[in-house]
Structure 1
């Protein structure tokens, strides 16, 4: 092959590498997201917390309504009117005006109010748990956006290293110390790194969009400056008495027990009393009327509703036992995962340091001709893998902190922001 024909492929490889490297110098305008702590203060405006707050307001309104006594009934009866004979018209009519009201005996009102209060207590605890869940989701979305940003940065650095290694290989090809195949391989690696960067950038932009939507940030987020991945997890507290899920299950069990009382009271007769006045047109006289009425419990004794309420209580009691068992196991597992993730982060950081030193030495050896391009590629791949593992370890630590925070009933990284 003539020198001219060999120079053209080398020039093509060099031009391709220059085109790939030129994309790294494009400016990026960033609109940083608020810090996680700032977004946490605005958590009350998110749809999940607003929904939970509205449900609690509705439960409180039902408590107020349960305290209200039933309205009295005003009745007007006209007898012996518009008939035949002496009852023609209203001259001999008997007119009664009466006021009747339920007496609400047997503790009917008290049972109703107690059941409504128990329901409101359970809904209030569910509202608190919903706020904790919303804080955990916010922390996860924020961390995932930061992870996507770091992976895009890592992909950009990988592309830069790959282009630099390919240029070094091309220089050795130009000197005749390496075959032309090495330059072509370098170009292929650079093109693959470019495709990886494009994919990482797309994932980063998608993560920014999710963070903007979940956190309800007015302007689209284009960067995450305040790191949550590097934040230290909250110190593990001693074992708490009851997890939020257990407290919710206890409140639901208490509400189910109150509903049994309500149904038992409903089985008793609902007595109504009335008082009124009657006008006798024929005698031109008036008299008071008194009355009392009650249904006879011959057929409907509310047994079905009582049995249904008792069954619901047994189900709530079973859910409480399950919640207690799961809370103990889940918290022990969350503490173990958090401890393991902290150790994993330290190990990953040490691996990154070792991989960076190995790559630096390999690059020196490659440029001096003491090691091959294959060995340089292996150390570069190890460096990329170590950096990626460090990012994954930090995300795992955030997930472990979110799980433990939910079991403790607090926001993730509470007190660290």
Structure 2
């Protein structure tokens, strides 16, 4: 089994993922982006400085610049209809939605890393189980060969033993490939694309956890970041709708300046006011689109809540079924199969059992151990999903059993 340097704990795996995962970093940058947009929304429009020269380079008395009229003015856009406050509110709510989304990404990442870590523990255990099975069969082959050479056993029995050894070695190879896949899965969650062997070390046993009732767990979903993020997104979409309605109100541009009449050597002040006439464009399309985005966001928030409830129910059912299965396998079935295998092995060497009984006992022992590992994996992963979805405290220290 591939083993890499210092052992990797679950806490270390999660910490590495939180600091390196690209999706996590993207979600964090999105918060900064929304904060920058909110800051930008607080700035007033810049005034405009304009210079205008008239009556130059024409004909007659206007052929030069002696009769030029020079105007220097400044204008300022005055936003009306509450646009500025609507815009600032929109970006504040967008920042809150981005924060909730970042927290949701963290929840999902924690769950994924915990699952990957547990799968690595399971893969390591299965490699050990498969290797031990192959070693057990391998130690029997010389005895089978000696019995065949003495005429105490048939060639068919020897061939059965050799075939069982080949199958056991194939199983070891397959489990080692699954181990490498589990390592690569965890590395991918760290956003690392170069393979390196990892060795997980932690509790891999039936958790000693008494879960609350399912309805109590479902009530906790209301505080899930994805649900809160959906609500914040709906609020942001409503703010965007208010902004589009405010955009339908025309802004006013005020101007003031001074004009110099070169022909008479006189000057005068001037003032201007301009207001767009909302004859054709009253922002109807954008208002309608913003209204529909509210409906979309609300439906999306509802669907998120439904999907979380579905996932929680599935995880709860898995926990309730696979944990007792793993406990039963570990407490009675696996020990019984291993004891039976040892008894039949001794009896075979003493001539009381045949090779078929021996190989069948070894196969049963190996399969029961592998089945226990898969049941344990489903059990601990279901608990991890329940904890991350509901915000229950992690129960890594509440498990009882062996350490891998």
Tell me if TM exceeds 0.5.
yes
After TM superposition, give the deviation of residue 254 of structure 1 in Å: 1.0
Please state whether the residue corresponding to 2:223 is helix, strand or coil: coil
Matching residue of 2:180: 205
Alignment counterpart, residue 133 of structure 2, candidates 145, 154, 158: 158
Contact 2:206 2:323 survives alignment (8 Å):
no
- Tell me, in whole angstroms, the C-alpha distance in 1 between the residues paired with 2:193 and 2:287: 52
Matching residue of 2:402: none
Matching residue of 1:52: 27
- Tell me, in whole angstroms, the C-alpha distance in 2 between the residues paired with 1:292 and 1:231: 77
Are 2:241 and 1:260 aligned?
A: yes
Q: What runs of 5+ residues in structure 1 fail to find an aligned partner?
A: 1-26
Q: How many corresponding residue pairs? A: 391
Please state whether the residue corresponding to 1:397 is helix, strand or coil: helix
Please state whether the residue corresponding to 1:78 is helix, strand or coil: strand
Are 2:5 and 1:31 aligned?
A: yes
Contact 1:245 1:407 survives alignment (8 Å):
no
Matching residue of 1:227: 202
Matching residue of 2:378: 396
Are 2:290 and 1:292 aligned?
A: no
After TM superposition, give the deviation of residue 412 of structure 1 in Å: 6.2
Contact 1:95 1:278 survives alignment (8 Å):
yes
TM-score (normalised: structure 2): 0.88
Matching residue of 2:346: 364
Cα distance change of structure 1 residues 106 and 28 upon mapping to structure 2, 3 Å threshold: closer
After TM superposition, give the deviation of residue 280 of structure 1 in Å: 2.0
- Tell me, in whole angstroms, the C-alpha distance in 1 between the residues paired with 2:62 and 2:250: 38
Matching residue of 1:98: 73
- Tell me, in whole angstroms, the C-alpha distance in 2 between the residues paired with 1:235 and 1:215: 32
Cα distance change of structure 1 residues 115 and 347 upon mapping to structure 2, 3 Å threshold: same
Matching residue of 1:86: 61
Cα distance change of structure 1 residues 81 and 413 upon mapping to structure 2, 3 Å threshold: farther
RMSD of Structure 2 on Structure 1 (CA) = 2.7
Contact 2:56 2:64 survives alignment (8 Å):
yes
After TM superposition, give the deviation of residue 250 of structure 1 in Å: 0.8
Matching residue of 1:41: 15
- Tell me, in whole angstroms, the C-alpha distance in 2 between the residues paired with 1:314 and 1:212: 39
Matching residue of 2:360: 378
- Tell me, in whole angstroms, the C-alpha distance in 1 between the residues paired with 2:209 and 2:283: 53
After TM superposition, give the deviation of residue 313 of structure 1 in Å: 0.8
